[in-house]
């Protein structure tokens, strides 16, 4: 009996999937915010490590590749336009998408550079790349994000 119930549930879920798969606006916003939180968490960890506030130098390469990987998902996370909702994203993300893409590219280039520098263990290069990554965050936030 349990098995039959489970099968029925599984089948109805499969049938409903195309409808379920339509992300609602709330989920779309949450997803891109989660992407930014992941990016932010890696970035904060990297800064704490290079400032030697924490003794986890061996984590640097993992954070740098995690940051780069999360940055690569960011463009897709912002693809779907939302209007309203609990968000600080500006509408110009979608009305001035060429400029937004440029801001994304700046983050992608700098996070890729940071990943390479971290892998090579070249600390001055890591420092420089972290500075560039930070500029890329600020550049986009200043233009495309409302202050809370
Ligand atoms: C191309 C644009 C762009 C770049 C580059 C960018 N961000 Fe963001 N970020 C945004 C936007 C837009 C929001 C607001 C998202 C929302 O509220 O829907 C945001 C939100 C955030 C948030 C808050 C998330 C939340 O839960 O509300 C954090 C943290 C964050 N960004 C960190 C970073 C860091 C760190 C970097 C650089 C490594 C970065 N961002 C690079 C556009 C960008």
- The conformation of residue 145, written as its DSSP 8-state character, comes to B
Residues in contact with ligand 1 (CB, 6 Å cut-off) = 29, 32-33, 36-37, 39-40, 43, 87-89, 93, 100, 103-104, 107, 133, 136-137, 140-141, 144-145
Summarised one tens digit per residue, pLDDT across range 77-108 is 999 999 889 999 999 999 999 999 999 999 99
Is 4 a domain residue? no
User: Does residue 13 lie within any of the structural domains?
Assistant: no
Structure confidence at residue 82 (pLDDT): 94
Helices and strands (H, E) in the chain, number of each type: 6, 0
Number of independent structural domains in the chain: 1
Q: What number does the ligand 1 atom closest to the CA of 82 have?
A: 18
Q: Is the dihedral of CA 29, 93, 91, 89 positive or negative?
A: positive
Candidate of 36, 114, 148 to mutate for ligand 1, largest count of ligand atoms within 8 Å of Cβ: 36
Determine the pLDDT at residue 84: 87
pLDDT, residue 118, reads 98
Q: Calculate the alpha carbon distances from 76 to 99, 102, 147 in Å.
A: 15, 14, 23
Dihedral angle computed from the Cα positions of residues 53, 56, 60 and 65, in that order, rounded to the nearest 10 degrees: -120
Bridge partners of 145, per DSSP, are 89
41 is a domain residue: yes
Query: In the predicted model, is pLDDT for residue 135 greater than 90?
Result: yes
Answer whether residue 115 is part of any domain.
yes
- Cα of 144 vs centre of ligand 1, distance in Å, is 9
19 within domain boundaries: no
> Does the structure show a pLDDT above 70 at 10?
no
Q: How high does pLDDT run on average in the chain?
A: 91
Residue 14 has pLDDT above 60, yes or no: no
The percent of residues above 90 in pLDDT, for the chain, comes to 81
Is the CB of residue 60 less than 8 Å from the CB of residue 118?
yes
Distances (CA, A) of 64 to 33, 54, 112, 144: 19, 16, 8, 24
CATH number of the domain to which 43 belongs: 1.20.120.10
Segment 29-49 shows an average pLDDT of 98
Copy the structure tokens of residue 104. 């994304």
Determine the distance separating the centroid of ligand 1 and the alpha carbon of 58, expressed in angstroms: 26
70-94 burial: b if 16+ Cβ within 10 Å, else e: bbeebeebbeeebeeeebebeeebb
- Residue 99 within a domain: yes
Supply the pTM of this predicted model.
Answer: 0.88
Q: Which structural domain range is residue 33 located in?
A: 27-77+92-144
Quote the ligand 1 centre to 2 CA distance (angstroms).
45
């Amino acid at each position: 009996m349990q098995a039959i119930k489970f099968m029925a549930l599984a089948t109805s879920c499969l049938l409903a999937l195309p409808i379920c798969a339509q992300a609602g606006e709330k989920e779309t916003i949450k997803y891109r915010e989660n992407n930014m939180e992941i990016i932010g968490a890696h970035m904060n960890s990297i800064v704490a490590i290079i400032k030697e506030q924490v003794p986890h130098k061996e984590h640097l390469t993992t954070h740098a590749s995690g940051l780069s990987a999360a940055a690569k998902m960011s463009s897709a996370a912002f693809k779907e336009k939302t209007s309203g909702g609990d968000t600080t994203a500006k509408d110009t993300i979608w009305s001035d998408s060429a400029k937004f893409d440029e801001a994304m590219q700046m983050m992608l280039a700098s996070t890729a550079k940071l990943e390479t520098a971290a892998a090579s263990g070249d600390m001055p290069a890591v420092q420089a790349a972290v500075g560039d990554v930070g500029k890329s965050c600020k550049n986009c936030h200043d233009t495309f994000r409302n202050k809370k």
